[in-house]
Amino acid sequence: MVRLFDSTFVLGTVLVVIALGIAVAAAMRADLPLVGTGVGGLIAVAVIGMAGCAVAGISQAPAAGWTSPAIVAGSVLGIVAPVVIVAGVFGWTGVLQPITQLLPSQPDTLAPARAATVALGGLIGVKWFIAATMAAFAR
């Protein structure tokens, strides 16, 4: 079981912080250094977020049991994430419309990639919180 101060959990947390930083920057700016436009930011957040989950998150499943409520919740969020990513890359506004309704900007002016980046950042944050809670209470 991963603990809060294990090297794997710390590395995963660093990757999550980087992914969330890019998500915030992509939501606030039209063009980012190194990753470019909204779709580039979305893909960068996706790749770094998945790396963080692979390093620190999924390793807890065998020890906790695949039917643990925290593992099931994290798995469901992990299944939703690729749907959000694909919707942002291909501009599927129907999938992203519920997300844009929650954001303070005008839903019609928000690009699908930006909405997906914000949603993916939220999913990554929630998944990290689940993993941190599990690591904090690890025996």
Say what the pLDDT of residue 37 is.
Answer: 76
Say what the pLDDT of residue 124 is.
Answer: 93
| Residue 5 CB burial class (10 angstroms; 0-12, 13-18, ≥19) | exposed
Give the predicted TM-score (pTM) of the model: 0.85
| Mean pLDDT in consecutive groups of 10 residues from the start of the chain, 139 residues | 76 92 81 77 92 76 76 88 93 83 67 88 91 79
Give the CB-side neighbour count of residue 91, counting CA atoms within 13 A: 4
